Structure 1
Amino acid sequence: MLYGIAAASAALLLTAVLAALLRLPALRAGVVDRRRSRPLPLLGGLAVVTVTSLVAWTGEWTRVAPLGDGVGGLLLAAVAVGLLGLVADVWRLRGRVIAAGTAVAAACVVPYDETGVAGGALAVAGIVLVTLVFRGLDHADGLAGTVGVVTAFGAGVCAAIEVMDGLAVLLSVFAAALTGFLMHNWHPARVGLGACGSLFTGFLLSSGVVFTRAGYAIGPSAAVLFCLGAVALADAALVVLVRLLGRRPLLRRGPDHLVHRLRRFGLTQPGAVVVLGVCAFAAVFAGVLVHAGWAGEEPVLWVAGGVAVLVLVLLRAPVRIPVQRPRRMASTQVSERLRVRNG
């Protein structure tokens, strides 16, 4: 208990300091998000990954808080996914490469002896899905970090119920590291999470839930995973529906996520993040109740209904989609006009 408190405190402070120190190198190296009015450094996720790994492995090496069977490999796989995200932040990898790398990492950590082959394949698919949709939450200041902290605490409680002390400590350390990062990421953000941090967050949380649910029935396990990733899944569902109905490319970035549409109802950006954080807490609480066996299927149905209502209501919120003309087409039109003008 005392080590857990000390480790979480150290993770919070170290991440806050390291994220601040990495801000200037990120700006100088050009590792920034240029979608905003000003470039946002994206090495905050690297700070979260580094500190979480450092503190967790310190407990393992000193044997004060051993990670336990399989948890060390889970952390290594999560770090690998985070490094893949770092490469994406620097060189802009294609989505299919990120998905394939995440699937390989997930296949290496699923406990097949407890899940079986079919259950293991479903677990890999669930980990990949939650990891990718968590990346989509990094569209607004503080959102991915807030939802990640809430979900990490819920997953940590599930691990503690299963007496997986090493995994519970790891998730508490991770939650503290994300909290330290949020000191710089709350609106207006000075440091961003980037693909490195968001992929690491989604992978660590989803694979942690898979570990705690190993040996249980597939249906209830999927329900728990759904509850813990409800906000991220709602955001992905909203974006997919909006872009399909608008006949726009699914992978093109645009202001059609949860926060963007909530702001059309008069909320400020921090206010929208708080609302979604409360929604995440309610969904995670329901997932913990189901995992502990303190409730049946009713909480899951309430969460599913809430996600459906949220998506349908926000579909009616109009957003201004910027029209982007391809550069190649624009240059072709200019050349054609010059040719006509010159006769």
Structure 2
Amino acid sequence: MLYGIAAATAALFLAAVLAALLRVPALRAGIVDRRLHRRLPLLGGVAVVTVTCLVAGAGQWTGVAPLGDGVDRLLVSAALVAALGLVADVWRLRLRVLVAGAAVAAACVVPYDETGVLGGVLALGWIVAATLAFKGLDHVDGLAGTVGVVTAFGAGACAAAEIMDGLAVLLSVFAAALTGFLMHNWHPARIGLGTCGSLFTGFLLSSSLVFTRAGYDLGPSAAVMFCLGAVALADALLVVLARGFARRSLLRRGPDHLAHRLRRLGLTPQASVVLLGAGSFSAVLVGVLVHTGWTGEGAVLWVAGGVLLVVVVLLGIPVQSSRRTESTQVSGPLRVRNG
């Protein structure tokens, strides 16, 4: 317990300092996105990944807080996915490359002996889908980080309930590192998470949930995972439906995500992130209660209903789709990187 608190504190401080230090090198190297006529450096994810790996690795190396069977492999795989994301931040990579990389990494961490063949395949698909969904959340300042912190605490609570202390410590360290990064990412952000950090966040959280739910029935496991990824999945569903109805390419960016549509309703950038963060907290709380047995699986239907209601309502909100608007309101690389 004391080590977990000390590790989380150190992770928060180190991530905040490192994110601040990486801002200028990112600007000078041109690793930036454009958000509302301003240049946003993208090496914040490097700070989160580096600090998480160093602090968690120190506990593993010293034996003070060993990660446990398979969790160390999970962390290494997440770091490799983050490295692929960093390449995407610097140079252009097609989406299928990111999908293939996430799939290979997921195949290396799924505990097939506990999930079985069918469960393992579904778990692999879940990890890839959740990883890409979290990447999609990084379209406005603070959103991916806020939802990531809330989800990390929920996943950590599930891991603690399963007495998976190493995984719980890893998730608490990650949540603290992400919080340190958020000190610089709240609107107007001084540094962004980038593909590196968003892929790392999605992969680490989704893989951790697979570990905590391994051995449970598929139905309840899917329900818990849905709750903990509700906001990211709602955003992905909204974008897929909107672009499908408009016959637009899924790979072309546009101001049609959750936060963009909330802004069209008159909310400020900060208010939209707070609202989505509160929604994430509510869904995550339901997922944790279902996992621990404090409430029945029927509670998940309320979360599913809420997600569908939000998607249907926001789908009716008109969005600007001109090329000029997309270049100024949407996170789009100054260099052509990662679509």
Instruction: Tell me which interval the TM-score lies in, with the shorter structure as reference length.
Output: over 0.9
Number of the residue aligned with 2:135: 135
2:93 is the alignment partner of 1:98: no
Q: Which amino acid aligns with 2:87?
A: V
Q: Which amino acid aligns with 1:196?
A: C
Whose relative contact order is higher, 1 or 2, with alpha carbons under 8 Å and at least 6 apart? 2
Query: Which SS does the other structure have where 1:33 is aligned?
Result: strand
2:320 is the alignment partner of 1:317: no
Q: Which amino acid aligns with 1:131?
A: T
Q: Which amino acid aligns with 2:312?
A: L
Q: Report matched runs for 1:258-269 at 5 Å.
A: 258-269=258-269
Q: Report matched runs for 1:281-296 at 5 Å.
A: 281-296=281-296
Structure 1 runs (4+) deviating above 3 angstroms are none
Q: Which amino acid aligns with 1:307?
A: V
Cα deviation per residue 1:43-92 (whole Å; 9 max; x = unaligned)? Answer: 00000000000000001111111101110000000000000100000012
Shift of 1:35: 4.8
Once the two structures are overlaid, the 10-residue window that deviates more, 310-319 or 48-57, is 310-319
Shift of 1:318: 1.4
Q: Which amino acid aligns with 1:157?
A: A
Task: Write the distance in 1 (CA, Å) between the matches of 2:122 and 2:308.
Answer: 23
Shift of 1:34: 2.8
Task: Write the distance in 2 (CA, Å) between the matches of 1:6 and 1:35.
Answer: 36
2:257 is the alignment partner of 1:270: no
> What number of residue pairs does the alignment pair up?
325
Q: Report matched runs for 1:68-83 at 5 Å.
A: 68-83=68-83
Aligned CA distance change for structure 1 residues 291 and 111 (closer, same or farther; 3 Å)? same
Task: Write the distance in 1 (CA, Å) between the matches of 2:228 and 2:99.
Answer: 20
Q: Which amino acid aligns with 1:268?
A: T
Number of the residue aligned with 2:328: none
2:115 is the alignment partner of 1:124: no
Q: Which has the larger radius of gyration?
A: 1
Number of the residue aligned with 2:148: 148
Number of the residue aligned with 1:237: 237
Query: Which SS does the other structure have where 1:216 is aligned?
Result: coil
Unaligned ranges ≥5, structure 2: 325-339
Identity of aligned residues (%): 75
Query: Which SS does the other structure have where 1:189 is aligned?
Result: coil
Cα deviation per residue 1:15-40 (whole Å; 9 max; x = unaligned)? Answer: 00000000011011111113541111
Query: Which SS does the other structure have where 1:200 is aligned?
Result: helix
The normalised TM-score by structure 2 is 0.95
Task: Write the distance in 2 (CA, Å) between the matches of 1:295 and 1:106.
Answer: 30
Number of the residue aligned with 1:23: 23
Task: Write the distance in 2 (CA, Å) between the matches of 1:300 and 1:77.
Answer: 30
Query: Which SS does the other structure have where 1:39 is aligned?
Result: strand
> In angstroms, what is the RMSD of aligned CA positions?
1.1
Number of the residue aligned with 2:198: 198
Unaligned ranges ≥5, structure 1: 325-343
